[in-house]
Structure 1
Amino acid sequence: MNKLLICLALAAGSLLSSGASLAQTPAPHSDQLYKAFGEKPGLVALMDDFMVRLLADPRTGPHFQPANQQRVKEQLVEQLCALSGGPCVYKGADMKSAHANLDIKKSDFHALVEVLQQSMDAKGIPFRKQNEMLALLAPMNRDIITPAESGTRP
């Protein structure tokens, strides 16, 4: 079921994606998703759990070990807060610039989404609200995944 959710969210994001950065994506009109995630304290707790899981997962850990993990968590909280209709404004780099030289494959992106789902499950976020957030995050895949050269990348 989780794999199906991931595929659906990524497919929806691919269809909706226009290459715009997250900073340019308008927030939903309602703050209901923000409230469902526990507002800012809930997002902070979610990202604390998420970072622990990212670092522990052999698929994602190598991408996050060298990063300033506190800063990554803070930026993720800002992004999710803004996307979910909260009062935050994301001030970090656009996704394309931030990930340009990181050689991120589709499988890396999918692994990150799986880990995020594990964290959302652990924090008791309702499945429907998880889907809503994933649908908002999915369009970033075009800016985060490094384009394949000559079709050799998975």
Structure 2
Amino acid sequence: MKTLLSISFALLLAAGPLAAQDAAVSAEEQAILAEEARLEAEEAASAAPMNDPTAPNPAPAHPELRPVLDQFGGEAGLTKLMDTFMAGLIADPRTGPFFANSDQVRVKRQLVEQFCVILGGDCTYTGRDMKSSHRDMQIGRGDFNALVEVLQVAMNEHDVPFAAQNKLLAKLAPMHREIVNK
């Protein structure tokens, strides 16, 4: 019996440091998991749109314009249009500096969403309002006009009828109040 107690005691002593080591690893793992959770929450918060409550809706739906969306080729047509539009924005020396270091894939996706909603499509706009999006960009009236010119060239390249172009531009034009900030 004394031998059995000695063996049990020896096992407990041997297990003691291992149990303490396991507890330390567990605490370390918990710290890592907590840090990962904090980083994920921070990333999610930065990805969430930051909206200015005083800014107008950047994508007001106009269901009456659904036929105009069809003239743009629907959401697929808008996606192709945005590829051409972004290439034009980058190539134009007046607008290129504003887009060269942007997340162009995200910008194109959000423009497709925005135009689609405005034209009465079944899309959801996931971007920020125009005031928040352009706050620190120092955009002048000439910069805004240059962007519109590049958009018109892209729409012409995609054979969007002139009347359809004007209907979209009429909905976008008032946004200059939130975009032009210089």
TM-score normalised according to structure 1 size: 0.80
Shift of 1:31: 0.9
Could you list the per-position Cα deviations for residues 13-63 of structure 1 after superposition, in whole angstroms to 9, with x for gaps in the alignment? xxxxx951314x232334111111000110000000000000000000000
Q: How does 1:49-68 map to 2 (within 5 A)?
A: 49-68=84-103
Runs of 4 or more off by more than 4 Å in structure 1?
none
Aligned to 1:11: none
Select which of 111, 119, 131 maps to 1:96. Answer: 131
User: Structure 2: which 5+ runs fail to align?
Assistant: 1-53
CA change 1:129–1:64 in 2 (3 A) is: same
- Letter aligned with residue 116 of structure 1: L
Q: Equivalents in 2 of 1:30, 1:116: separation in Å?
A: 19
Provide the residue aligned with 1:121 in structure 2: 156
- Indicate the percent of aligned positions where both proteins have the same amino acid: 49
Tell me, yes or no, if the aligned pair for 1:34 and 1:84 is still in contact at 8 Å. Answer: yes
Q: Give the equivalent residue in structure 2 for 1:20.
A: 56
Separation of aligned partners in 2, 1:86 and 1:29: 10
The answer as to whether partners of 2:55 and 2:129 remain within 8 angstroms in 1 is no
Residue 141 of structure 2 aligns to which amino acid in structure 1?
K
What are structure 1's unaligned runs of at least 5 residues? 1-17, 149-154
Q: Which AA in structure 2 matches 1:21?
A: N
Answer yes or no: is the 8 Å Cα contact 1:75–1:92 preserved in 2. Answer: yes
Larger radius of gyration: 2
Cα distance per residue 1:71-98 (max 9 Å; x no partner): 0000000000000111111121111001
Q: What's the RMSD between the two structures over aligned residues?
A: 1.4
TM-score under structure 2 length normalisation = 0.68
The answer on whether the counterparts of 1:19 and 1:142 sit within 8 Å (CA) in structure 2 is no
Residue 39 (1) aligns with residue 74 (2): yes
2:67 aligned partner, one-letter code: Q
**SS state at 2:120 partner:** coil
